[in-house]
């Protein structure tokens, strides 16, 4: 079951020291989702702002509205989405836009029953790679270098 325990420890990032995010349950956009809003920051995160109506900072996890089964065919997949939204300033005038980060898990129907350990291993590696490369990923998003 998807749930966040507050505060959430953020991954290491250039310019952020020991980032944490206090979250509260928020109203998700769909009944098949859970959402949390960032209400307080920990560590040193100069210039980072918490969630506001005109400046979102949320984490949402969405499952399919209707889970597919083997009756849907051999190539059917259940898609789960983890979405983070963060308001960002895009110019000197202070114009805000919403930055999106989507992680989508496309699970072939039947794998959850016949190979759950591999489904978990895929999730584990995805989270591990993101965690291990958090700062590198942030740097790449800023400077465009890989």
Angle at 10 between CA 39 and CA 7, to 5 degrees: 45
Give the model's pLDDT for residue 66: 93
Report the alpha-carbon distance of residue 117 to residue 96 in Å, rounded. 42
Give the model's pLDDT for residue 2: 83
Give the model's pLDDT for residue 146: 85
Give the model's pLDDT for residue 46: 95
Cα atoms found within 13 Å of the Cα of residue 90, Cβ hemisphere only: 8
Report the alpha-carbon distance of residue 28 to residue 26 in Å, rounded. 6
The contacts of residue 15 (CB under 8 Å, 6+ apart) are: 46
65-72 long-range contacts (CB < 8 A, ≥24 apart) are 65/30, 65/31, 65/32, 68/109, 69/109, 70/109, 70/110, 72/109
Give the model's pLDDT for residue 53: 94
Is 8-143 assigned to CATH 1.10.10? no
Give the model's pLDDT for residue 54: 93
Identify the segments of the chain with pLDDT beneath 70. Answer: none
Give the model's pLDDT for residue 142: 93
């Amino acid at each position: 079951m998807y749930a966040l325990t507050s505060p959430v420890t953020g991954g290491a990032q250039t310019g952020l020291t020991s980032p944490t995010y206090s979250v509260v349950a928020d109203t998700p956009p769909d009944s098949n989702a859970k959402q949390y809003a960032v209400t307080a920051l920990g560590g040193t995160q100069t210039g980072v702002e918490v969630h506001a109506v005109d400046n979102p900072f949320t984490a949402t996890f969405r499952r399919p509205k209707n889970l597919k089964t083997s009756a849907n065919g051999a190539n059917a997949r259940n898609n789960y989405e983890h979405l983070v939204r963060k308001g960002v300033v895009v110019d000197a005038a202070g114009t805000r836009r919403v930055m999106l980060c989507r992680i989508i898990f496309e699970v072939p129907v039947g794998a959850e029953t016949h190979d759950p350990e591999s489904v978990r291993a895929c999730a584990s590696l995805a989270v591990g790679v993101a965690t291990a490369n958090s700062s590198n990923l942030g740097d790449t998003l800023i400077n465009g270098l890989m």
